[in-house]
């Protein structure tokens, strides 16, 4: 038992170290993300190890185990120590744009039990656009309650070349179900992927999904003039462009006029693709420069006008809907500079923006919706949506 306690203490402490380190590979980055979101599990393992050592170990083994456990707990506790400040900052950022309400952003119980939204009605694989022989589909989560509901479009990530509706999370439907349980009808959509299509094809697909909402508002029981859009990573980039241009950009052929966007949520989205191409995150875990060039159809010097059109910062010459930007400061895929620079541009233009940064969080952290950052992100999004819708 003493040796087992020592092994558990060493393993938990080694995993806790990753919370504080830059990971050299994508796989280790995922380990770091899980460790930081579920660091309380590491603390529990360390406590079990120290209790076992105190009972079963003797002399040097006990001392070594206790020392490793204490070090592991200190390392694993960092996200929890940073959480109160992050909650306070999120509350301040949301209040500043007029989003008032309780900030029930964390439940220690849910870290171990998970989040279990009530059952909602879902219809899968609804075709909203067929183009070049490709049928694009969405899943609709009907808002709970009687009457007409606001709408939310969800755009998945995946570097514009991977991913699918319902993707991007360990339990991808929980957040959608939570939104639907609050009375919001959710449309989780597909879009064409690289290399079969390049920008602006993906943006046109998102605009067509917004048009589907307006065209089917009566049968879906939604208000097409009360819609919001949420994107993760590459999907956040598309969501921002759609939100800032919907109703101003030309409606794609064969699609209805888009629903009116009242607010946009970007989770760790890239916003300056030219800068992202020239100065990718290091180490470059996903081939970021190549992904951007493939999406844009070339490097910035080759297609400069396309890069200008793909920057949300360049669409702020007219009123835009309120924006919620959520980003982990430990993101190794999309540097937090992207959200910070867009927030600064929005503030300079007098637009409503709330920037929430989580010191410990990595790319895709909200996929663990019951985790430390996942809970804070979900609470912030629910409060923002209640405000704009």
* Structure confidence at residue 57 (pLDDT): 57
Q: Which of 373, 348, 379, 344 is nearest to 360 (CA)?
A: 373
Q: Which of 321, 332, 327, 328 is nearest to 385 (CA)?
A: 321
Chain centroid to Cα 245, Å, comes to 21
Cα gap 206→61, rounded to integer Å: 60
Q: Which of 385, 373, 274, 280 is nearest to 329 (CA)?
A: 373
Give the residue carrying structure tokens 């007029």.
98
Sign of the CA dihedral 51, 52, 56, 58? negative
SS (H, E, C) the chain: CHHHHHHHHHHHHHHHHHCCCCCCCHHHHHHHHHHHHCHHHHHHHHHHHHHHHHHHCCHHHHHHHHHHHHHHHHHHCHHHHHHHHHHHHHHHHHHHCCCCCCCCCCCCCHHHHCCCCCCCCEEEEEEEEEECCEEEEEEEECCCCCCCEEEEEEECCCCCCCCCCCCCCCCCHHHHHHHHHCCCEEEEECCCCCCCCCCCHHHHHHHHHHHHHHHCHHHHCEEEEEEEEEEECHHHHHHHHHHHHCCCCCCCCCCCCCCCEEEEEEECCCCCHHHHHHCCCCCCCCCHHHHHHHHHCCCCCCCHHHHHHCCHHHHCCCCCCCEEEEEECCCCCCCCHHHHHHHHHHHHCCCCEEEEEECCCCCCHHHCCCCHHHHHHHHHHHHHHHHHC
Dihedral-angle region of residue 163 (phi above 0 means left; psi in -120 to 50 means alpha; beta otherwise): left
353-358/222-232 β-pairing? unpaired
pTM for this entry: 0.96
With a CB cutoff of 8 Å and minimum separation 6, the contacts of 301 are: none
With a CB cutoff of 8 Å and minimum separation 6, the contacts of 267 are: 230, 231, 232, 233, 236, 326, 327, 366, 377
* Structure confidence at residue 246 (pLDDT): 78
* Structure confidence at residue 249 (pLDDT): 81
* Structure confidence at residue 190 (pLDDT): 97
Cβ–Cβ < 8 Å for 237, 203: no
* Structure confidence at residue 229 (pLDDT): 98
- Order the strands of the 122-131 sheet from edge to edge: 122-131, 134-141, 185-189, 149-155, 222-232, 261-267, 323-328, 353-358
With a CB cutoff of 8 Å and minimum separation 6, the contacts of 117 are: 174, 177, 178, 180, 181
* Structure confidence at residue 31 (pLDDT): 96
- Could you report the average pLDDT of every consecutive run of 10 residues in the chain (389 residues)? 76 94 96 96 88 69 80 95 96 96 85 92 96 95 96 96 78 86 97 97 97 98 98 97 88 94 98 96 94 98 97 95 98 97 98 98 95 96 97
Q: CA angle 275-364-178, nearest 5°?
A: 130
* Structure confidence at residue 150 (pLDDT): 98
């Amino acid at each position: 038992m003493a040796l087992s306690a020592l092994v558990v203490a060493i393993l938990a402490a080694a995993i806790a170290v990753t919370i504080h380190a830059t990971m050299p590979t994508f796989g280790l980055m995922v380990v770091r993300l899980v460790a930081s979101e579920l660091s309380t599990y590491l603390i529990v393992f360390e406590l079990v190890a120290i209790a076992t050592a105190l009972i079963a170990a003797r002399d040097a083994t006990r001392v070594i185990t206790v020392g490793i456990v204490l070090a592991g707990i200190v390392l694993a506790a960092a996200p929890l120590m940073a959480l109160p400040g992050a909650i306070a900052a999120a509350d301040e950022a949301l209040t500043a744009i007029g989003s008032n309400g309780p900030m029930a952003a964390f439940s220690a119980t849910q870290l171990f039990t998970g989040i279990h939204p009530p059952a909602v009605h879902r219809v899968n694989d609804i075709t909203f656009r067929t183009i070049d022989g490709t049928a694009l589909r969405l899943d609709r989560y009907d808002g709970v309650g009687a009457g007409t509901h606001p709408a939310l479009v969800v755009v998945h990530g995946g570097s514009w070349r991977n991913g699918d509706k319902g993707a991007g999370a360990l339990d991808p439907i929980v957040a959608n179900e939570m939104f639907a349980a609050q009375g919001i009808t959710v449309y989780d959509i597909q879009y064409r992927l690289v290399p079969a299509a390049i920008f602006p094809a993906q943006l046109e697909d998102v605009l067509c999904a917004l048009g589907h909402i307006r065209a089917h508002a009566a049968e879906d029981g939604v208000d097409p003039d009360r819609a919001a859009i949420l994107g993760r990573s590459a999907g956040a980039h598309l969501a921002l462009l759609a939100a800032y241009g919907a109703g101003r950009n030309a409606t794609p052929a064969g699609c209805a006029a888009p629903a009116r966007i009242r607010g946009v949520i970007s989770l760790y989205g890239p916003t300056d693709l030219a800068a992202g191409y020239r100065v990718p995150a290091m180490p470059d875990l996903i081939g970021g420069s190549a992904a951007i060039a493939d999406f844009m159809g070339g490097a910035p010097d080759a297609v400069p006008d396309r890069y200008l059109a793909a920057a949300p910062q360049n669409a702020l010459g007219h009123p835009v809907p309120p924006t919620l930007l959520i980003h982990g400061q430990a993101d190794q895929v999309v540097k937090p500079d992207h959200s910070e620079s867009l927030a600064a541009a929005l503030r300079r233009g007098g637009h409503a923006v709330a920037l929430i940064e989580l010191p410990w969080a990595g790319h895709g952290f909200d996929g663990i919706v019951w985790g430390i950052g996942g809970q804070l992100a979900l609470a912030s999004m629910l409060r923002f949506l209640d405000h704009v819708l």
